[in-house]
Amino acid sequence: MENRNNVTVFILLGLSQNKNIEILYFVLFLLCYIVIWMGNLLIMISITCSPLVNQPMYFFLNCLSLSDLCYTSTVVPKLMTDLLAERKTISYNNCMTQLFILHFLGGIEIFILTAMAYDRYVAICKPLRYVIIMSRQKCNRIIVACCTGAFVHSASQFLLTIFLPFCGPSEIDHYFCDVYPWLKLACTDTYGIGLLVIVNSGLIALVTFVILMASYFMILYTIRASPAESRAKALSTCGSHITVVVLFFVPALFIYIRPATTFPEDKVFALFYTIIAPMFNPLIYTLRNMEMKNALRKVWCQKPFLIGRQAI
């Protein structure tokens, strides 16, 4: 790959050129990264060690937390390293690798959120058939389909960009390797490739977002005549999902649904789906979900007490 290009090392301009601000950002993102790991590990351990692991919704939530950890780890460690470095560089091969992994994990996240919406739709709109439709075998097949769809999406993106020639400049105006800043540096006409990127990334995100919103609209329509207690529980669960969907999809749509152009605001919007959404997912799903809060109490509060009593 390197023989085709005059440029084999790229410079990431990052979020700021002011060293004091970069140190402040480093502390802020380090705290965010710690919260992401602690929150998502807390969810994964609590679900795995409780009966919730047998429920499809929490099975998908477990997968979403694992996806969040991997997704943020593709971006945040490199970002924090660059914030302390004098020269923020990344090789051509590493840039392509980051681009592929980022879109692969991002695709998994999008499809898992869709699976979670489908699970809620079946649970609320077809409760009598829920156990049959959302069996563990079906859930496993859905996760395999999510990974397969994400791989096809990322591989398509990879093939669109891997053959582009780069002859300078070598500065990527972003804090990670993404498609549009990458296309901007190519020394060839990228208009057609930009349109294909919109189809591959933008339309996938848009169609998925519309499907998600439509499913939640159908859920809300279905529960309109339900008892107040059942309606409140359904609204709480769906409200958590909708919050996560908006945090992830709206910034992604702003970036990928338009032609291949870049704006200074892109880096701020990218923070939402690379750092902010994965950080708030655990809080959203625990604070607004009584079953998760009960599982947290049982796993983290009662077990040490029981162990202590057995020792006595």
Kindly list the structural domains of the chain, giving each domain's residue range(s) and its CATH number in brackets, ordered by start: 9-300 (1.20.1070.10)
Task: For strands 9-12 and 89-91, give the pairing.
Answer: antiparallel
Per-residue pLDDT tens digits for 142-171: 999 999 999 999 999 888 888 888 887 788
More confident residue, 19 or 237: 19
Residue 311 banded pLDDT, cuts 50, 70, 90: very low
Cα–Cα distance between 220 and 55 in angstroms, integer?
22
Give the pLDDT of residue 287: 67
Asked if omega into 169 is within 30° of 0 (cis), the reply is: yes
- Over range 248-256, report the average pLDDT: 89
Q: What is the token pair recorded at 182?
A: 């990458």
Which of the four pLDDT bands, split at 50, 70 and 90, describes residue 5?
low
Residue 234 CA neighbour count, 13 Å, CB half: 25
Query: What is the residue-averaged pLDDT of the chain?
Result: 85
Token output for 183: 């296309």
Q: Specify the pTM.
A: 0.87
Average pLDDT over residues 275-279: 90
For residues 286-293, give the mean pLDDT: 72
